[in-house]
Amino acid sequence: MIDRKNLKYRQSTSAIIFNKSNKILIIKKLNWKENEWDFPGGGVDVGETPDISIIRELNEELGVNKLVILKKSRLLDKYEWPDDVIIDRSQQKNENYRGQERTQFLVKFNGNNKDIKINTSEVIEYKWIKISDLEKYFVFPNQFEKAKKVLNDFKL
């Protein structure tokens, strides 16, 4: 059992990206299982603001810059990592965090699917889905419930 009390949360970002058809984009990361999906995003680097980080991360993961930030949620998505993730990140990346605290954004995608060029060293697949289908893809503990809250915050 890991003693978490002295570990901080990694600052991170995520984006609910919607397209011209009002579908939202979800991704499957490289080392995830077949049924594990999330919104794109990633860590906030030293000296970055979440607003700058989300655009950089989306460009890195999806290879696009045809994005417009519409809103930043008032809600933070804060969660604990399992012990094995904490140990793995400590050993492989020399990071010591207990979990993540994500700033969440609503983003409009003004491009076409051909503009998306996923970075296969991070993301293995993306898809556009209806908001009503989100529950089928969000399987991590409390992931769907948290997504519903932020969607409500954005009035979607």
Confidence at 93, pLDDT banded by 50, 70, 90: confident
Q: Answer whether residue 1 shows pLDDT above 80.
A: no
**Helix (H) / strand (E) containing 97:** strand 97-109
Tens of pLDDT along 9-22? 999 999 999 999 99
Confidence at 31, pLDDT banded by 50, 70, 90: confident
CA atoms within 13 A on the CB side of 114: 0
Confidence at 2, pLDDT banded by 50, 70, 90: confident
Q: What gap in Å lies between CA 105 and CA 33, rounded to an integer?
A: 25
Q: Answer whether residue 103 shows pLDDT above 90.
A: yes
Whole-number average pLDDT of the chain: 94
pTM: 0.90
**Domain segments of the chain as ranges:** 8-153
* Residues 125-129, mean pLDDT to the nearest whole number: 97
* Residues 61-78, mean pLDDT to the nearest whole number: 95
Q: What gap in Å lies between CA 121 and CA 118, rounded to an integer?
A: 9
pLDDT, residue 123, reads 95
pLDDT, residue 64, reads 93
More confident residue, 79 or 38: 38
Q: Answer whether residue 94 shows pLDDT above 90.
A: no
Residues sharing a CB contact under 8 Å with residue 44, sequence separation 6 or more, in sequence order: 11, 12, 13, 50, 53, 103
Looking at the structure, give the CATH architecture of the domain made up of residues 8-153.
Alpha-Beta Complex (3.90)
Q: What gap in Å lies between CA 62 and CA 118, rounded to an integer?
A: 4
Q: Answer whether residue 95 shows pLDDT above 90.
A: no
More confident residue, 156 or 74: 74
